[in-house]
């Protein structure tokens, strides 16, 4: 089984917070992804489906529906660049170009050194400070080339 015992034990407790097993799927997927370096393998989806008594296709459907779940390995750092209307009007395409230039990654891909995965995402609710990206879970707003260089330059 690809799911480790510590995680299964955690899920046993998690299930006590929900009326049925299915309701725990999304929080469980978040934990699986965290524990697996930022992505969810087919084996992990199958194991979780078995644990939650769900058809594997249902787990796959949820994982592939929500953009916060990844089905492929990613770089050490994840840059989610918002490309919705407010950010787009305030230069999101320039942000994408600058991040890709600095990291060596293509949009949707990972840099050759494996350090950065760059993705475009939908509105993150920070429209008043557009353009923005989320780097490893932290929002960075009002981006321009200088700020992007400073932020990415500080990443280890």
Residues that bind ligand FES (CB under 6 A): 82, 84-87, 123-127, 130, 132
Provide, rounded to whole angstroms, the least separation between the CB of residue 126 and ligand FES: 4
Helix axes 42-51, 25-35, angle to 10 degrees: 140
Provide, rounded to whole angstroms, the least separation between the CB of residue 65 and ligand FES: 20
Provide, rounded to whole angstroms, the least separation between the CB of residue 54 and ligand FES: 33
CB 69 within 8 A of CB 33: yes
Nearer to ligand FES, 41 or 84 (CB): 84
H helix runs in the chain, sequence order: 5-14, 25-35, 42-51, 56-65, 85-89, 92-103, 145-153
Nearer to ligand FES, 25 or 82 (CB): 82
Nearer to ligand FES, 3 or 87 (CB): 87
Distance between CA atoms of 137 and 27, rounded to whole angstroms? 16
Provide, rounded to whole angstroms, the least separation between the CB of residue 143 and ligand FES: 11
CB 96 within 8 A of CB 60: no
Nearer to ligand FES, 40 or 92 (CB): 92
Provide, rounded to whole angstroms, the least separation between the CB of residue 63 and ligand FES: 24
The residue with tokens 């707003």 is: 141
CB 87 within 8 A of CB 144: no
Nearer to ligand FES, 77 or 83 (CB): 83
Distance between CA atoms of 135 and 36, rounded to whole angstroms? 18
């Amino acid at each position: 089984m690809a799911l480790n015992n510590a995680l299964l034990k955690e899920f046993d407790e998690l299930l006590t917070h929900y009326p049925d097993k299915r309701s725990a799927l999304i929080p469980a997927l978040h934990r699986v992804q965290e524990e697996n370096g930022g992505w969810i393998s087919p084996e992990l989806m199958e194991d979780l489906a078995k644990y939650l008594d769900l058809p594997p296709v249902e787990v796959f459907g949820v994982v592939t529906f929500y953009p916060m779940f990844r089905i492929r390995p990613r770089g050490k750092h994840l840059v989610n660049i918002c490309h919705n209307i407010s950010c787009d009007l305030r230069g999101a395409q320039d942000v994408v170009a600058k991040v890709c230039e600095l990291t060596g990654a293509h949009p949707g891909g990972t840099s050759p050194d494996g350090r950065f995965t760059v993705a475009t995402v939908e509105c993150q609710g920070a429209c008043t400070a557009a353009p923005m990206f989320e780097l490893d879970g932290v929002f960075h707003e009002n981006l321009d080339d200088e700020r992007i260089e400073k932020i990415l330059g500080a990443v280890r």
